[in-house]
Chain A
Amino acid sequence: MLLVLCLALACSVGCSPSERREGFLHLRLSANPTTLDPSLITDVPAALVAAKLFNGLVRLGEGLEVVPDIAERWEMSKDGRTYRFYLKAGVTFSNGREVTSRDFKYSFERVLDPDGRSPNAWVFDRVDGAREFRNGLSAGVRGFRVLGERLFEIELRSAFSPFLNMLTMTAAYVVPEEAVRQSGVGFSSNPAGTGPFVLKEWRSHQSLVLERREDYFAGSAKLKGILFRVIPEDLTAVTEFELGNLDILSLPAAVFRRFKSDPAWKDHIVSIEGLNTYYLGLNASRPPFNDPEVRVAVSRSIDRKKILETFYEGRGRLARGPVPDALRTWQIPPEAAATQSYDPAAARRMLAGRGLENFTVSLYVTADQEVVDLAEIVQSYLAGVGIRAKIRQLEWSAFKAAVNDGEPDMFWLSWWADYPDTENFLFPLFHSSNLGPGGNRTRYVSREVDRLIEQGQASRRAADAARFYQRAEESIIRDAAWVFCWHKADYVIKQPWVRGFRTYPVYSMDKGADVSF
């Protein structure tokens, strides 16, 4: 009788979701999105979904240039401080109301509002009046100005060249005030935006169903909708893909070789050069790595090319500096590049010259198995030049806290672009105002680099900014502020029936509207 009861219970509850929904694109999310409120999003799964639900004033074009989104055009003042945006007519939220410039003022102030608990307030930190507003000294941000129904102006405290690029970020999406007020904290799971899709259903930790909007201002999507399935385990996702239950999948490293060498699949794999830099961080705030010579010696002791070709099976590009090649518009001089070339004998001589032989340093890594394996490879290279690296594995937030506090001598980390601008690979990572949680976790301090980055930020023309950034990057490479390792590529596999699919280096670029079967 107990068995019958059990059987009845086990079978009665819950309905079975069909494996495929007709006319829907089936995609995988590796984790449940934490929130779909643009002001709060910091995780990739949420940002991927939000890109389909929302729009901003501007977006990124195919060549990573800034192009119009809800704004049809914009003007920048001569001093580079003021941007005036002319909004398109007829752009509506999913509740049917037309977007006006007041919505942008509301949405942007919401990100800065201390009560909003947004971790993305830094995006608008340079807007005039932002700090007073955050400190409760003013009711609104004077730098956000509504000049008409479809005319919006933003004034910065000082010229800041990456600002337009930053407006393509998730935090700068527009949201309707009435929907936020009505839903309260529920807006996170019941969002309303201007995007090509609307959220129809979110079964937490299971799936999200997005349906096409017929009245999307840039032309409705080709498919009926998108079904995101939350599948945490890589190999399960691969099985689902092989069964045809997923249409597109980012290939996990464990199965890369199998698919790449399979004649049935190899032509359906597309690679994306990611805007990221993986590095071995050297704590520049104390000995021994406060000495640039010692840092150069460490750089020259590790054969990064070999690790990339063997351990990572060539899935990436060797880094020549912090800036990914896709963003760099200049050449790195050979004498700067030489600080990174593999030469253990030279490294040993350099260390001996500093009186450093057989010394011990700490190497902190996250508990990810791939990272631990890599750390052991790095450890053996360092041992070759007389550096004993003691590996310490920590859970992610404990690792982050230790690194932010400058605890380790060395650590393994990567940086992924917030927005595709060279500045994003220089200012947060090497400017002395960002030590620790701000991004400069190696605590590298150079007044010259600070000054060059600031001059780049204050330049009105991209070419002028690039000149300053070029000099800053050269300085950073000469100083061997990091051991610059590689820019990882992502490999995506698609089913033969998927058409119009393109890969993008920045996830917010993928609106999912062009894909068809």
Chain B
Amino acid sequence: MGRYIIKRVLLLIPVLAGITFVAFLLLKAIPGDPVLNLVGERSSPEIIEQLRKEIGSDRGLLQQYAGYLGLLARGDFGRSYHTNRDVLSDIAAKLPNTLRLALAAMMIAVPLGVMAGCAAAYHKSGALAAAVEAFSVAGVSVPIFWSGLLIMLLVSLELRLLPPSGTGGLRFIILPAAVLSIPAMATLARVTRTAVSEVLVMPHVNTARAKGLTATRITLLHVMKNAIVPVVTIIGLDFGSYLNGAVVTETIFGWDGLGRFTMEGITMRDYPVILGCVIAGTVLFVLVNLLTDLLYHYLDPRVRLYDRKK
């Protein structure tokens, strides 16, 4: 197992090399010039040229890429073109906020989504199932910028329960986390309902019932254990994407996370910021995927992660 984990972590190196190269190519392929964002509305060609030289954008693509890899090898993500701040320290400052928001959102989404999905699977024809079905469609269809603002107006302005924006403790995290959790909760409800429905008609569940086990025991030990793998997949995917920043949620609720930082980098064509965020995002995504794979193995011993004979 240990060797498997080390192998997967080492695989990050070629993945990162590939991702940064693709990101580099894409940044150069899209129209726009970072220097034009730096100089303001009035500038001379000499100043523009000098700034191009300063940030190295006058060199060839491969030269620039090699220069960037050289920086990375020294553990340096470079400095932002605009703020001149160290990109790595900025990412390090924002990552905990993103992590907190993602965790809080999953804390809301996972129990509620799974419970709603189970309830809908057990009561297929009732109003509850219809409500869960409606929610699972609406939750993934309604855009967050709309639901987010509505929830903010209701909770912050009308009921005056929580602050509308800002980065801080529990009071500040509840609203963005709740809004961010909606699509994940909806997907989880739908996937859980399908998975549980499939397991419920299996012979071993009937056997368990015949043995006279309690409904809770049947659900937890015989149903959920068999239905959990697709649910874990969804949790892993959503959590991985939240760790890469929830741009809209972070913008609406003024949450100082990686999503807003990345977006600002993109709009300002701040290449070191964009590349730094791509690297951080890739590492996080790969690690969450690794964790999900390990969980598969733990939850369902039939899933083999590596060949034991080797």
Is the beta-carbon distance between A119 and B39 smaller than 8 angstroms? yes
Query: Chain B 267-294 against A: per-residue CB contact (8 Å), 1 yes, 0 no?
Result: 1110000000000000000000000000
Interface members, chain A 3-33 (any B CB < 8 Å): 3, 6-7, 9-11, 13-17, 19, 31-32
The distance from the CB of B291 to the nearest CB of chain A, in whole angstroms, is 12
Q: Considering the complex, give the chain B residue whose CB is closest to the CB of A115.
A: B54
Indicate if A335 sits at the interface (CB-CB under 8 A). Answer: no
A6-B104, A397-B33, A400-B36 known; A34+B82 contact, CB < 8 A = yes
Tally of contacts, chain A with chain B, CB under 8 A: 178
CB < 8 Å: which of B41, B51, B107, B260 contacts A415? B41
Interface residue stretch chosen among A67-75, A150-158, A225-233, A299-307:
A225-233
B152 contacts which chain A residues (CB < 8 A)? 235-236, 239
Docked complex Cα distance between A117 and B85 (Å): 15
Is the beta-carbon distance between A206 and B256 smaller than 8 angstroms? yes
A17 contacts which chain B residues (CB < 8 A)? 166-168
B153 contacts which chain A residues (CB < 8 A)? 239
Q: Considering the complex, give the chain B residue whose CB is closest to the CB of A230.
A: B254
Query: Chain B 143-160 against A: per-residue CB contact (8 Å), 1 yes, 0 no?
Result: 000000100110011001
Query: Chain A 376-414 against B: per-residue CB contact (8 Å), 1 yes, 0 no?
Result: 000000000000000000111110111010000000000
Indicate if B90 sits at the interface (CB-CB under 8 A). Answer: yes
Docked complex Cα distance between A171 and B36 (Å): 18
Is the beta-carbon distance between B100 and A231 smaller than 8 angstroms? no
Docked complex Cα distance between A28 and B145 (Å): 20
CB < 8 Å: which of A3, A43, A232, A436 contacts B260? A232
A394-B31, A397-B34 known; A15+B164 contact, CB < 8 A = no
B50 contacts which chain A residues (CB < 8 A)? 114, 117
Is the beta-carbon distance between A404 and B36 smaller than 8 angstroms? yes
Indicate if B47 sits at the interface (CB-CB under 8 A). Answer: yes
Interface residue stretch chosen among B8-16, B170-178, B190-198:
B170-178
Is the beta-carbon distance between B107 and A203 smaller than 8 angstroms? no
Is the beta-carbon distance between B42 and A397 smaller than 8 angstroms? no
Indicate if B126 sits at the interface (CB-CB under 8 A). Answer: no
Docked complex Cα distance between A395 and B30 (Å): 10
The distance from the CB of A83 to the nearest CB of chain B, in whole angstroms, is 22
Interface members, chain A 235-255 (any B CB < 8 Å): 235-236, 239-240, 242-243, 245
> How many of chain B's residues touch chain A, expressed as a range?
35 or more
CB < 8 Å: which of B37, B84, B103, B169 contacts A14? B169
Is the beta-carbon distance between A119 and B47 smaller than 8 angstroms? yes
Indicate if A121 sits at the interface (CB-CB under 8 A). Answer: yes
A42 contacts which chain B residues (CB < 8 A)? 38-41
Is the beta-carbon distance between A397 and B32 smaller than 8 angstroms? yes
A34-B82, A122-B44 known; A206+B167 contact, CB < 8 A = yes
Indicate if A438 sits at the interface (CB-CB under 8 A). Answer: yes
Interface residue stretch chosen among B91-99, B131-139, B221-229, B297-305:
B91-99
Indicate if B56 sits at the interface (CB-CB under 8 A). Answer: no
The distance from the CB of B270 to the nearest CB of chain A, in whole angstroms, is 9
Is the beta-carbon distance between B100 and A243 smaller than 8 angstroms? no
Docked complex Cα distance between A231 and B253 (Å): 8
CB < 8 Å: which of A9, A203, A232, A396 contacts B251? A232
Is the beta-carbon distance between A438 and B167 smaller than 8 angstroms? no
CB < 8 Å: which of A31, A185, A398, A436 contacts B32? A398
Indicate if A106 sits at the interface (CB-CB under 8 A). Answer: no
Is the beta-carbon distance between B36 and A9 smaller than 8 angstroms? no
Q: Considering the complex, give the chain A residue whose CB is closest to the CB of B270.
A: A34
Docked complex Cα distance between A3 and B100 (Å): 13
Indicate if B64 sits at the interface (CB-CB under 8 A). Answer: no
A117 contacts which chain B residues (CB < 8 A)? 50-51, 54
B104 contacts which chain A residues (CB < 8 A)? 6, 10
Q: Considering the complex, give the chain B residue whose CB is closest to the CB of A242.
A: B157
Indicate if B72 sits at the interface (CB-CB under 8 A). Answer: no
CB < 8 Å: which of A35, A185, A203, A394 contacts B82? A35
Is the beta-carbon distance between B269 and A239 smaller than 8 angstroms? no
Indicate if B58 sits at the interface (CB-CB under 8 A). Answer: no
CB < 8 Å: which of A122, A185, A206, A240 contacts B84? A185
A401 contacts which chain B residues (CB < 8 A)? 31-33, 36
The distance from the CB of A458 to the nearest CB of chain B, in whole angstroms, is 20
A117-B54, A242-B157 known; A14+B168 contact, CB < 8 A = yes
Is the beta-carbon distance between A437 and B45 smaller than 8 angstroms? yes
- Chain A contact residue count (CB 8 A cutoff): 63
Is the beta-carbon distance between B47 and A122 smaller than 8 angstroms? yes
Is the beta-carbon distance between A243 and B156 smaller than 8 angstroms? yes
B93 contacts which chain A residues (CB < 8 A)? 204
Docked complex Cα distance between A434 and B43 (Å): 9
Docked complex Cα distance between A122 and B41 (Å): 12
A454 contacts which chain B residues (CB < 8 A)? none
Is the beta-carbon distance between A397 and B36 smaller than 8 angstroms? yes
Docked complex Cα distance between A7 and B106 (Å): 10
CB < 8 Å: which of B83, B157, B256, B269 contacts A188? B83
Q: Considering the complex, give the chain A residue whose CB is closest to the CB of B145.
A: A233
Indicate if A189 sits at the interface (CB-CB under 8 A). Answer: yes
CB < 8 Å: which of B31, B51, B173 contacts A10? B173
Indicate if B218 sits at the interface (CB-CB under 8 A). Answer: no
Docked complex Cα distance between A415 and B42 (Å): 10
A120 contacts which chain B residues (CB < 8 A)? 40
Q: Considering the complex, give the chain B residue whose CB is closest to the CB of A184.
A: B84
A236 contacts which chain B residues (CB < 8 A)? 149, 152, 164-165, 252-254
Is the beta-carbon distance between A35 and B84 smaller than 8 angstroms? yes
B230 contacts which chain A residues (CB < 8 A)? none
Indicate if B48 sits at the interface (CB-CB under 8 A). Answer: yes
The distance from the CB of A497 to the nearest CB of chain B, in whole angstroms, is 19
The distance from the CB of A92 to the nearest CB of chain B, in whole angstroms, is 27
A398-B30, A439-B42 known; A3+B111 contact, CB < 8 A = yes
Indicate if B163 sits at the interface (CB-CB under 8 A). Answer: yes
Is the beta-carbon distance between A3 and B107 smaller than 8 angstroms? yes
For the complex with contacts A11-B170, A34-B83, A232-B251, 19 further pairs of A-B residues with Cβ separation under 8 Å are A6-B107, A10-B173, A15-B168, A17-B166, A19-B163, A32-B264, A42-B38, A114-B50, A122-B47, A188-B85, A204-B90, A206-B256, A232-B254, A236-B165, A239-B156, A404-B36, A437-B36, A438-B43, A439-B42
5 interchain pairs, CB-CB under 8 A: A188-B83, A397-B34, A397-B36, A401-B32, A404-B36
Return the 5 tightest CB-CB contacts between A and B, nearest first: A42-B40, A398-B31, A16-B168, A397-B32, A16-B169
Residues of B within 8 A of A (CB): 30-34, 36-45, 47-48, 50-51, 54, 79, 82-85, 90, 93-94, 96-97, 99-100, 103-104, 106-107, 111, 149, 152-153, 156-157, 160, 163-173, 177, 251-254, 256, 260-261, 264, 267-269
